[in-house]
Each structure stands twice: as structure tokens, then as C-alpha cells.
Structure 1
Amino acid sequence: MNDKFVVIDIETTGNVAKKGDRIIQIGLVVVENGEIIEQFSSFINPEQEIPAFIQQFTGITNEMVTDAPTFSSIAPKVMEYLNGAYFVAHNVPFDLSFIQNELEMSGYDHFFGPTIDTVELSRLLLPTAESYKLYHLAEQLNFEHDRPHQADSDSEVTAELLLFLIKKLKKLPLLTLQQLKPMIKKFDSALEVIIETFINDKLTSAILKNDGQLEEFRQLVLKKQELKIEHEPYAEIENFQDEINEIETRLLKKFDRFKIREGQKEMMGYIDDALSTNQHLLVEAGTGTGKSLAYLLPGLYYAKKYETSLVISTHTVQLQQQLLERDMKILKETVPFSFRTAVLKGRSHYLCLRKFEQKLLDHFDDNYDIVLSKAQILVWLTETEDGDVEQINLPSGGKVFWNEVQSDATTCIGKHCSWFSRCFYHQARNRAYGADLIITNHALLFTDMTQDHQLIPSYKQVIVDEAHHMEEVASDFLGIKSDYFSFSQLFSRIGTIHTNDLLHKLFSVHEELGLNLHTSFESLDDLLNDLKFEIDDCYRQLYAVVVNKMSVAKNEVGRKSFRYFPNEMGGEGWRGIQEVVYRVQMFSNEVLKLMKKISDEFSLIEDELTFLQTGVITQFKSVHASLSEEKGKLEELLLQYDPNYVYWIEVDAKGARNATFLYCKPIEVADILAETFFSKKSSIVLTSATLTVKNSFNYIVKRLGLGDFGVTTKMIESPFNYEEQVQLMIPTTIPNIKDVDEKEYIYEIVISILDIARITRGRMLVLFTSYDMLRKAFYELKDFITNEEFILIGQGITSGSRAKLTKNFKQFDQAILFGTSSFWEGVDIPGEDLSCLVIVRLPFSPPDNPVFQAKSEKLKEIGKSPFMDLSLPQAIIRFKQGFGRLIRSTNDRGVVFVFDRRITGTRYGKSFIQSLPEVPVHEKPLHKLLYELKNWL
């Protein structure tokens, strides 16, 4: 094994060497025998100007490189270092392409030695890392990294990372290394010799056993699970309200400067009272109240006192994780008794070990992402006790692989499974039984409700955080969705007799076993082709009807919705759709009948089957169940009708001709929730920062069906001093969107955003209600920005998730972040990173939204105003969520600009301001507001 590694990092004038970008700094670290032995770094004169954006990003200016050497003058030194070494970089394709280009320009040959990419190696060996950016890894591993994006500092940290990763690779169990060895061949990094060396070292070593934390089972190495669940000893629980002062004393002792806020105490008292007296309670807790601890403490005391399980439900998995990782640690240091917490998520969150074992043996069509995913999971299994997909950072293609190995009810064989005693899903359920606190999410809460409470252990008390999402989540889980992609995935999985997919594998198993089912397989193959054709035709016809009915233009962006009534389908187009649905129904029934016949034949000899053969048959049964379910959904959506549901179709004008999506949802969920949820539980506490409209809970009480339950309502004010911390500014110079065309309106808001950004130095979040407008404004603003004075980040334009875009935004000094939909809530950017929030339009639901239309019609039928009773309250709650993005701590200061003149120019507009905390409101021409803003900031 070559033990010399040369770690290189460079800074450049741009991203593409072939387009003329050059190196401006190089950092180089030599690693031998497990330690750093030499370092070299230098600024480099690129013989061209450094763009302003790069200067801001790296801190390297034109002046700093003016007297620096050119690359050609240091090229011999670089070549000398690289001689006989591994070339190592954090993102090798980038660094190596620039080095090769500079070597070529200097008259030298390219580097042809082995390479190691520490991004790839980190993905393999740190499968649970949130991010693989160098500065995030340095932070996670506690490496000192004081100057990110400067090559000398970055190369040092990359060298430390390399040493850490090689040590970790060496420590992996022998069996895991042996299973990784064939996979590594498909990696970009040259790791084969290194792994081979480590395997040989272990084989020749006297100590081959894994440490006591690991176990080998069926050719996999797993972290040992604590299978026996001990019940916590009984504790004498005092009255919670009498204990609050003692709790605060313990908090102060354990967590310096931690003080229970008045609002927190108030909220704790209300929740304790509601749980003790079997009441339902609504609590709006202003931002900064510390509501997590305010409900966890009384909830835990109640659960311990009455020896019962209390359920905590959140909307997001992120909050679920936060409660487990942060708040539970605080509780353990605070309460004078031991307790047990369990996290329970939907089944698809958990790895099925039986499926994964089968997939390890299956190498058909393994692309890079699948190989990397398999390798990551092998390493992860030596670390995880939960097998929860939220813990592992799979590559983008790994999400498809996860669908193949996730736990699901249709393929689970329960206690007959060899892996049952180690099954992650069943272990999670076992841990939930008898736990004092069960932390789950709204999705599972409502899945449990729709499946006769079979998923979550019996409970009578539940605290629902982020409760403003309850109606929406309930509606989603009580609805139905169908699309071509769902069928297409199933057809891809099953394949044909002649492709290397499921049907071919099953046909091969049948031949191995000498069964006489050739005719059945050939008939099934033909029928699947017919069904595939009819399904495609069905969705194409639906697409055509919607595009014709709505006159959707090809240049329109995003999906368009078309509401329909299955009982009133008429016209030639609809008749054609009905006919094709009947054909789909006929072919589906034939396919399902034949699949069952084949499955039944295998079931007769299941004792003779090998592990791999059983796996193939189980997958076949899973596809049968999924196809039956998808067929049922399509029939319900197009051949049946329930007047209490709203039905609609969505198409993307720029999408494929079969890119059609069918939906139905209940128009109202209030009665369903009242009957199946609120009436079944002793006490339900609903909390959020946004439950009221103009300080009233009436809207949420009606929407959730709480009217007949005598629900208690309480408001806890935010501890923040909004009068001192926030200014609300409404420019009178921005026109009303109805008075000008869209192009002129976008021009006005873009110019205004730029003027404000120059005062706030970026640090701005701009919230839109329409992605189309966001996109147009983004590109127009990009054209106006000179010398790259601001970094623009746009949701749906800049690649990455909400979390990734938010991290990028924090990274730059002068950045502007454009967001819509999910950015109105759940984004947390405290401190100086965010000083300005711009709300472009008041967040009313689009009037053509089918669910909104159906709800409006229902309200009209009973003499109510759709606007006052639905549209306005919805928009106010959304507006409050958006407003809450700005102030996240007692030290934050900032300004909120509202560009929508309706907020003061209409009678209803004042309701938005009345629903906010007391803040100074300024309504003036923009130039006057900017003068005031400059002085205030």
C-alpha cells in the first residue's frame, strides 16, 4: 500500500478551468505514515482580475495576488510533491481539473496517479453527516477551521479529515470490510489497495472479534440492540405546579443562566390543568415562549403520576428530532425521577434488514448511487440502533434504493422472518409500549387514526405541536392520489420475462424448481404489456382533456388544476376516458388474478425455497398488493363519487403527455376529527405560535370540529419586545398589482428590493406567494445587480433543499434569499444573518385551488362568507407565520416590509396588523422609509 498522500486545495477565479478560470491560491499538505509531515501554500497570480463575488467568498483580493508567483513558477514543486503519491482533495474533479489545466499550460504532463476524494470517503464513512461541505464536517468533528475558503486552511482541514477517515476505515469490522471490497471498485476514489491491506492485517492479526458493541448475524455486522426493555421504577410524583420552583432551581444549576420564562410557567400550568381535568386545550404560544419545554414538563409529570403513555405529535420530523436530541437531555437533567421516551415514525422510515440482505446479493444494474447507498448502509449498521432513514444522508439516487429496502406491511412476514428479533420497525414499536412519552408526527397520528389505531400504542392524552397544520394533514391522509409515475414504478420493478427485473428473476426461480408455469408467465407478460399501454393511454387522455378544457399554454410554468365531478363526466373526451378506465380495470383484474395464481403455486412449496428465492417471491407479492391498491385508487377517483369530497386533476404544461395527477380530498374534516379523534381522547392539547385570528380562536375551533367539546383557549404572549426589535414598513410607492400589468409590478418590486438591500447589506428574506412571480423577479433582479454586490439564492432555482438554501444564505455576508411555500414557516435564521423580511403579497389561497373552491361553496350553502370565514383567516395565519421568520431571539432586530397595499388600503387589511404583536407601523414613500431604516439600523 502506497502510504503517501498529497492533500491539495485551491481557490480559483471561477468554477470551470476550460473556460479560462485560473487558480489564485494553493494549499498542499503531505501525509505519510498516518501523520502530516510537510505543508506548502502560496497565493498565485492568475494573470486576470478576481471577480467581486470570489473576493467576497474567499477574502482574497486582487492586491493580495499582484506580487504572487504564477502557477508555472511553482509547477515543478507541485509535481515533485505529487510524485508517487495519492492526489487527495475535497471534491477531486474540481481541484484536479484546475491542476491538470495549469500543468498543461505550464508545459508539463498531467498527473496520472491514484486519487482519493474526501467527499466520497466522507459519504461512505460518515453516513449520518448532515452535510459533506468541508466547513460543516470540520464543525462536526471539532477540527479547528478558522479561515474557510482559503486554500491553506482548507488543505490542512482536509488532511485532518483524511487521517480521521482512514483510521475509521481501518477500525471497521472484518466482515464489513470484506463486503465493501467489491463495491469499492465502482467508487471514483482508489481505495481497493487500502481496504485490501486492512483486510489482510485483520486476517493475520490474533484479534478478529468485533468489540462488545457489535454482533454478526446472517453475514451482516450490526450494532447490538438492547432487546430487553426495562420498565422504569415507580416514582412518587408530587403535584406538578408545586414542583415548578424546584425544577427551575435544578435547571439553573445544570444549565447556567437558564431561567423559566413567565410565559413558560403560565403555559405549563394551563397544560397541567387540562391533562388533570380531562379537557381539550388550545394554546397559542408566541415566538420565544419556549413551548417545547412548556408542554414536555407537565406532560411527563402527568404520564409518570398516572402511569400512562402520553403522545407528543409534531408536524415535521426535524422538530421530532429536536425534541429527542435537545429537549430530552434537558428533561433528564431536570426531573427527579427516571423516565422512558420512544420515537415512533411511519414504517417507511425504517430499514428492513431482510430486504437489505437480499439486495446485497443482487448486483443487477447497480449504478454508482446504488453501490454508494449499499456501502453507506453497511457502515451505518455498525452505528445505528434505530435504522431510521432520517439518520442517514443517502445520495439522490439512494432515495430510489431506499424504497426497495424500507420496511412495509405488504412484504413483512412478521415472526416468520429470520430478522424479526432485530427488526428496526418492531423494535421501535416495542420501545413505544410502556414509554412515558411517545414522540411521533402528525402523519403517523392520522395514519393510525385511519387504520383503527393499530400503529401507536393505546393512549388517551396527546399534545399536538405545530397544530395549525392539523386540518391540512388530516385532509391529506383522508384523501386519495393517483398518477402515472406510481404505475410506471411498479411496471419498472416487475419488468418482463426477458429483462433482468422481478418477473425474469421469478421465472428463473420457477425453472430452477421445475414448476410448469410457462403458459402463466407468458400470459402475464403479454397482459402486463396491454395494461401498461392502457394506463399510459388513460393518463394521456386525461392530460389532453385538461389542457383542452383550460387552454393551457405551453409556455406556462407549474401545474394547472382542473376540478371535475366523476358523476357528471360528459362529452366525447370524458367518454373516452371512462372507456379506457374500464379497459384498465379489465386488464388489471386479469393481471392480478394471474399473479395470485403464480404466487399460490410457490406457496405450496415454500418449505423447499432458499432465502434468495423466498425474497424474490415476497417482492412479487408486494408488487401484487401495490398494483391492487393503485388500481383501486384509480377506480375510486374516476368511477365513483362522494359529494363530501372534492376531485381534481393537475397537469404540467411543460411535462410529459402522461404527467397527470389525480386527487380527491374531504371538503371538511371537522366532523371526521370530532368523531374519530377528539371524542376518543380524554385530553388533547393543541399548540402553535399561530392559532388565532385577531386574537380569537373561533376559526381554528370551527375548522377542527372542536365546537361541541367546551375547549379551553389560552394565549401566551411572546417575551420579545417587538416595539423595540421590529419596524413594519409599507411603501406607498409600490403600485397595487390590479392597477398595473405583471411586468411593471415585478419591475417595481425588484427595484425596491435592491434599494432596501443596499441599506440592509443584503441579509434579506423575500417571501412570495407564487413561484412564477418569484422566478421572474429573481432573474430580473439578477440583471440589475452590478459587480456581484449581492448573492442571490432562489427556491427552485438554486439547487438544494430548504435547509441547504438556508445554510448557503447564512454563509454569505450580502445575500438575498427568495422563497415561497415552505419558506413561510420553519425557517430559523437568528441574529444578524437576517435583518430584513419582505412580504411581496398577502398570502391568500389562490381562488382556483380546488379544495378552497369546494370549501367556499359549502360555506355559501349555509349563508357564510367564504372570504371572511375562510380565505381571510387562512391568509392571516400564514402571514403570522411569515412574520415570525424575522425575530428568533431577544437580541434580534429587523424590519418587515409589506409590498401589498391591501394591508392598509382595505377594511380587511387591518386584520393582518391586528393579528401581530404591537409593532411600530410606518406607511410612507419608499425613499422616506429607507432614510428611517438607515437611521434605525
Structure 2
Amino acid sequence: MTSHDADALLERAVGALGGEPREGQLEMARAVTDALGGDAHALIQAGTGTGKSLGYLVPAVAHAVRTGSRVVVSTATLALQRQIFTKDLPLVAEALAPELGERARIALFKGRGNYLCVHKMAGGYPEPEDDMLPIGPTSEIGREVVRLNEWADTTDTGDRDDLVPGVSGRAWAQVSVSGRECLESKCPVLEQCFSQRSREEAAKAHVVVTNHAVLGVQATSHDLLGEHDVLIVDEAHELVSRITSSATHELTVSMVDRAARHTRRCGFATEDLDRAARHLDGALGDCEPGRLRLGLPEALAMAVAEVRAAARRCMSELQKKSEEAGAAGKVAGASLGEVVDVCEDLQGEHGFQVIWLAPRDGDYDSQVAERILAAPLDVAGLIREKLLDEKASVMTSATLALGGDFGAISRHLGVDHAVTLEAGSPFDYPRQGILYVAKHLPKPGMGGISEEALDELAALIEAAGGRTLGLFSSHKAAQMATEAMRERLDMPVLYQLDDQLTTLVQRFKDDEPTCLFGSTSLWQGIDVPGRTASLVVIDRIPFPRPDEPVAQARTEAVAKSGGNGFMAVSATHAALLLAQGAGRLIRASGDRGVVAVLDPRLATARYGGFLTRSMPDLWPTTDREVALGALRRLTAS
């Protein structure tokens, strides 16, 4: 397909929406066409408003139908996956059908745990453990399970996302199974299986839409997606963290105990595994949380080896009587397999793994180690070998050219010799927004947020008349700022943990004076065009914590090889988040406002230029009165 063909097909698809392609969208479609036609890799930065979904879907659909190949499109979240599958992709398939001679077959692919399990709902799996879920018909979970059973009689998909309103994870666990627990071809109700039906449709589709969690399994465990010739990754800036997360395993005493309980329910003895769990408990009790630079201490290494050996023996016994064990045996095998896998990771060659001890999840102040964790030092090789080998690929996002260059993201993604494109944005950032750096403030410390920064925050919010999205580097800082602003200001201030995020964002949209503060998930994916978010405040440069084991190890590895570890790891991490956070301001051509960074290092440190070049090209200033005056004029207008 030529660039001229790409233009014509994009015009047809965008025309179906009653519009015309933007120049950046056309450039993107041509680049994707060239990459797919030449079995190449492409890195494409397409800013907000470019229309990148159609920019890659149009050439992808045309390529798949014309060549009879299979294209996989992955998105960062289930919500984005759903939008592409239910809105963008059907429109493209329908619009291009007359030109291509047939309508592209499309399918959705998710992990098995996202679907109702018909066999489990019919009683085919063992009841929940007594210490896990005491569910009564009048409890909240009990009511949710009743609603799930009613929904099961009417749903055509069994897809959790189709249940509105949704249910808690604990309730959903009563009607679903993980991939490891699934009986697959041995299931007595395979023909009725929602998950299996979706997989069969995906196997026959031209274009399959999945998510980064599935790619994580594909890269670190086993093949889920089957043969495909093209991989397109939307929100590609998140892929490294998703693959790292998928490849990170943890071992706890409770995991071993749970595997033993599941095994006993199948009628097998577990004395060796129980004993190994106690030895692991004792060895952990002698350790403090922290990174293990030289691998596991001797006592802990012996305990892990004992756990692995005992779990493998249990698995062997189970496999001999797998037919008799049925679904209960599958659940036990899944638990045992999880234990064996993480033990093997922990016993792997030192230098390729980052291993650390951590307290109970969420107990940040504890000095007692309860978990052993292992993560890969680098995932670029995994991405290259397991996801990109012998395929054409397109990696796209609004934030890929960090510091104005694709080099950093290319190394992290393991993409060699990629074609790169900066497709731009239809927005005039210097005219629509201001980047204000509060250069006069003190450098942020480790204890939340300073009084000087809170004073600055209050002045900015008053000038903006509320209408503020506050992005904080930690929940502690976000909570401190929320409490302080609620005391000082006469306007609503919502905090991320007050309610479900979707509910909070809707309240933020509906009431102009309202402010919304939070951390983590607010930095990306929040789309609030219009006057509601006229001020975006970032409390500090979001570097990873200096004691974060994986970032620390990766920094040291780069330094040992002669590179700049800080720039390659910490600055790159911060640049991605700053670009995403600042991108919350201008979401439409009529938007106006200020991004205010309360960290003077963005203006004074040597690495500040790299970070600001990664952000939208807003008009820069360090003059407080300029920023306040602009906000007051916006409020008055």
C-alpha cells in the first residue's frame, strides 16, 4: 500500500465521522503504512488531539485484509481497549469495507480472569476457603454474587466490563478463574465457555485488540496470542513498566501455606511443604527489608530451595492423579506452580535479577521482612525477543520523544533501527498555555510538601477560582495538600482516595470551582477538556524513590557500563510522568491555562532542560505575577 493509498483510506474513515484528516494524522498513517509494508519498527509520537487511533487503525486494517495477515493492537488499560474495540475499530472496518472488498474481522482478547466461568458457577470448582470469604446472602459481597448470578443468565459475552455497575474483586473471584486454574480443553462445559469463545474469535480475526497485561504474560510466560505478523502498541510509554510488573514475582509464607491447603483438599499429604513453610518463616524473620545486592542470605536460600523441592513433589503427585483431582487439582496445581516459579526466579543467576525483601504490602514503616521479591534487571531483551522478533511493529504515544529525542525510549523498549516520527499536535501550546516554575521556592524535601509550597498552591488556586487538578508525587503530599486547602480555601477539594476515581472525575467535571488532588493514576488517562482544569499543579519532579530497588539496580548497571545512570533511569522516569501530567492541561483547541511546577529544580538543575523538552511546548516563565495574572484573567473571562 502506498502513501497515497493511506491518505485516501484515512480520508474515507475520517469522513465517516464527518471530518477531514489532520496533517499529523496523515503523516502517521503514512509512517505506519511504510513500517507494515517493510516489516520495520516505527516509534511515533502523536500529541493529544492528533487522532492517533485512526492514524494506526486505518493502515492496520488495510494491511491485514489485503495481505491476509493478523494484526494485534495493544492498549494500556481495559478501558482504552474497550473504546478501540467498540468505537474506533468498527468505524474503520465499516468505512474501509467497500474499498477492501470485505469487512475486516475484529476481536477482543483478554485474560481468562475477565470472564465468567460457567463451570465454576455450576459448582465445578471447590468452595472458597473458610478463612477467605465468609459470604452471607445479606452481606455486600453476597448481594453482588446474587447479581452476578442473575447477570449470568442474560449476558452474551460473560465479560466483566459488560456488567454495569461493576462488582468488587472479591465478588468477581467467586465466578471466575485464572488462566492457571482453567481446565481448558478438559472442561466439561467447554462449548459454553465465554473465554474460549473469545479466543476462537480472536484466532480467526484480522485485527485483535488486547492490553498490555496480556503482552506482559506473552513476554514473560507463554504464548497467548498465537501467530501474528504485526504488533501495534498504543500508550507505548507504559509498556516497560507493565512488562516489569508482569515479570516481578513474590514469595510469602502465606502463599506456601495456601498451596498446601489446596493440595490437602485434593487428598494429598503436605508435611514436607508445611515444614518448608515454617523454615521460610523463620529465615524471613531474621531479615530486615531491603535490597539483596549479593543474592539471598544462606539461610533464606536454603529455605527457598526446600520450599521449591517440596512444592515440586506435591505437583508431581497431583499430576499422577490429575483426572481424579479435577478442578480442585487444577486450583492446587496453580498455587503450587506459582510457588515453584518464583523459587526458580530467586535461584536464578545473580546479576540478571533484582531481589529484595519487603514488609507486608502497604506496611511501609515495618522493619520485619515478610515478602521476597524478584524482578528482571532489564526488560528490553524480553520485549525484543518475545514481542517484536520477526514482526513489524508500531509503538505510539503522546510521550515518546523524551528530551526531544527517541533514543531513551528506544533503548528501554528494545527497538533497534526504528523509523521515528514526531506527528505533532493540532494545539498551539505556546498560545494556549503557560508553564510556570516556582523558582523562588525551596527544594522539596522528603517529608510530604513544605509550608512555602502550600502557600504557593493556595495563591494559585485562588487566582484560578478553583478549577485545579493537583498532581502529587506521593499520597502523603496529596493528603497534606488536601487537608491544608480545605482549611484555607472556600471551595471543594476532592482527594483521590475519597471515592472511586470515575466518580471523583465526574464531580470535578460537573462543578467548575472544584479541585481534584491525587497521585499515581491522576497523572495520566484523565481527560477533562474545558475550563474545569484551567490549572494543573505538579508538586515536585517525580523521580523514583532513591531506595526503590529496581530503579536503583538499573541506575547502577548503567553506571557500570559507562553511562549516566541518573539520566537513563531516574530522569527518563520523571520525564515520562511530567510529559503525561502536563498533558492534562490542553485537551481541546479552546483550552487555556497554566501548568505550575512547585519544584525549582526544573528551572535551576542541569537536567531541567531535558525534562522541559519532554513536556508540551507551553510558554515558559518563572515570574509568579505573570502566572497569577494569567489565571485571574481566565477566571474573569
TM-score if structure 2 supplies the norm length?
0.89
Is the Cα–Cα contact under 8 Å of residues 360 and 374 in structure 1 kept in the other structure? no
SS of the equivalent of 1:255 reads: coil
Query: Which of 124, 140, 148 lines up with 1:377 in the alignment?
Result: 148
1:387-786 mapped onto 2 (5 Å cutoff): 387-393=158-164, 398-453=168-223, 455-487=224-256, 490=259, 503=265, 527=271, 531=274, 535=277, 538-539=280-281, 542=284, 545-546=287-288, 562-565=290-293, 567=295, 569=297, 575=299, 577-578=300-301, 580-581=303-304, 584=307, 588=311, 599=321, 603=323, 617-636=325-344, 638-651=346-359, 652-653=362-363, 660-681=370-391, 683-707=392-416, 710-737=417-444, 742=447, 746-785=450-489
Residue 492 of structure 2 corresponds to residue 791 of structure 1: yes
Query: Which of 626, 629, 633 lines up with 1:931 in the alignment?
Result: 629
CA shift in 2, pair 1:582/1:395, >3 Å: same
State the distance in 1 between where 2:165 and 2:125 align: 16
CA deviation profile, 1:190-209 (whole Å, cap 9, x unmatched): xxxxxxxxxxxxxxxxxxxx
Deviation at 1:884, TM superposition (A): 0.7
Is the Cα–Cα contact under 8 Å of residues 484 and 659 in structure 1 kept in the other structure? no
Deviation at 1:778, TM superposition (A): 2.5
CA deviation profile, 1:390-419 (whole Å, cap 9, x unmatched): 2225766x4224334324444444444332
What is the one-letter code of the residue matched to 2:481? A
Is the Cα–Cα contact under 8 Å of residues 730 and 899 in structure 1 kept in the other structure? yes
Query: Which of 327, 330, 347 lines up with 2:88 in the alignment?
Result: 327
Residue 623 of structure 2 corresponds to residue 916 of structure 1: no
State the distance in 2 between where 1:410 and 1:255 align: 43
**Bigger RCO of structures 1 and 2 (CA < 8 A, at least 6 apart):** 2
What is the one-letter code of the residue matched to 2:292? Y
State the distance in 2 between where 1:869 and 1:860 align: 9
What is the one-letter code of the residue matched to 2:17? F
Is the Cα–Cα contact under 8 Å of residues 350 and 389 in structure 1 kept in the other structure? yes
CA deviation profile, 1:142-186 (whole Å, cap 9, x unmatched): xxxxxxxxxxxxxxxxxxxxxxxxxxxxxxxxxxxxxxxxxxxxx
Deviation at 1:637, TM superposition (A): 5.4
CA shift in 2, pair 1:590/1:446, >3 Å: closer
More displaced 10-residue stretch of structure 1: 664-673 or 290-299:
664-673
State the distance in 2 between where 1:326 and 1:880 align: 27
State the distance in 1 between where 2:425 and 2:435 align: 17
Residue 534 of structure 2 corresponds to residue 806 of structure 1: no
CA shift in 2, pair 1:790/1:390, >3 Å: same
What is the one-letter code of the residue matched to 1:564? L
Which consecutive residues of structure 2, in runs of 5 or more, have no partner in the other structure?
none
SS of the equivalent of 1:545 reads: coil
State the distance in 1 between where 2:532 and 2:243 align: 35
Is the Cα–Cα contact under 8 Å of residues 61 and 207 in structure 2 kept in the other structure? yes
CA shift in 2, pair 1:416/1:593, >3 Å: closer
Deviation at 1:870, TM superposition (A): 2.7
What is the one-letter code of the residue matched to 1:728? L
1:191 maps to what in 2?
Answer: none
CA shift in 2, pair 1:750/1:484, >3 Å: farther
Cα RMSD between the aligned structures?
3.1
Is the Cα–Cα contact under 8 Å of residues 357 and 370 in structure 2 kept in the other structure? yes
Deviation at 1:370, TM superposition (A): 4.3
CA deviation profile, 1:230-269 (whole Å, cap 9, x unmatched): xxxxxxxx857336346535744x434x221111111111
CA deviation profile, 1:609-644 (whole Å, cap 9, x unmatched): xxxxxxxx4232023212322331453355554321
State the distance in 1 between where 2:313 and 2:296 align: 29
What is the one-letter code of the residue matched to 2:327? Q
2:525 maps to what in 1?
Answer: 826
1:339 maps to what in 2?
Answer: 104
Query: Which of 896, 899, 910 lines up with 2:598 in the alignment?
Result: 899
Is the Cα–Cα contact under 8 Å of residues 10 and 26 in structure 2 kept in the other structure? no
Is the Cα–Cα contact under 8 Å of residues 81 and 210 in structure 2 kept in the other structure? yes
CA shift in 2, pair 1:911/1:584, >3 Å: closer
1:162-311 mapped onto 2 (5 Å cutoff): 241-242=4-5, 244-245=7-8, 248=11, 251-252=14-15, 254-256=16-18, 258-311=19-72
Deviation at 1:376, TM superposition (A): 2.1
Query: Which of 555, 559, 563 lines up with 1:864 in the alignment?
Result: 563
Deviation at 1:690, TM superposition (A): 0.6
State the distance in 1 between where 2:613 and 2:183 align: 57
TM-score if structure 1 supplies the norm length?
0.62
CA shift in 2, pair 1:585/1:242, >3 Å: closer
CA shift in 2, pair 1:591/1:393, >3 Å: farther
Is the Cα–Cα contact under 8 Å of residues 728 and 920 in structure 1 kept in the other structure? yes
State the distance in 2 between where 1:736 and 1:908 align: 15
Is the Cα–Cα contact under 8 Å of residues 535 and 585 in structure 2 kept in the other structure? yes
State the distance in 2 between where 1:268 and 1:761 align: 41
Deviation at 1:845, TM superposition (A): 1.6
Residue 114 of structure 2 corresponds to residue 349 of structure 1: yes
State the distance in 2 between where 1:410 and 1:906 align: 49
Deviation at 1:349, TM superposition (A): 1.4
Residue 609 of structure 2 corresponds to residue 887 of structure 1: no
Is the Cα–Cα contact under 8 Å of residues 341 and 437 in structure 1 kept in the other structure? yes
Is the Cα–Cα contact under 8 Å of residues 116 and 159 in structure 2 kept in the other structure? yes
Deviation at 1:491, TM superposition (A): 6.2
State the distance in 2 between where 1:362 and 1:452 align: 29
SS of the equivalent of 2:288 reads: helix
What is the one-letter code of the residue matched to 1:346? G
CA shift in 2, pair 1:742/1:677, >3 Å: closer
What is the one-letter code of the residue matched to 2:471? L
2:554 maps to what in 1?
Answer: 855
CA shift in 2, pair 1:934/1:828, >3 Å: same
CA shift in 2, pair 1:679/1:251, >3 Å: closer
SS of the equivalent of 1:647 reads: strand
CA deviation profile, 1:589-616 (whole Å, cap 9, x unmatched): 675566667x46xx4xx6xxxxxxxxxx
1:842 maps to what in 2?
Answer: 541
State the distance in 2 between where 1:263 and 1:718 align: 7
Deviation at 1:382, TM superposition (A): 4.0
1:14-163 mapped onto 2 (5 Å cutoff): none
CA deviation profile, 1:17-40 (whole Å, cap 9, x unmatched): xxxxxxxxxxxxxxxxxxxxxxxx
1:131 maps to what in 2?
Answer: none
CA shift in 2, pair 1:842/1:540, >3 Å: farther
- Count of matched residue pairs: 623
CA deviation profile, 1:101-153 (whole Å, cap 9, x unmatched): xxxxxxxxxxxxxxxxxxxxxxxxxxxxxxxxxxxxxxxxxxxxxxxxxxxxx
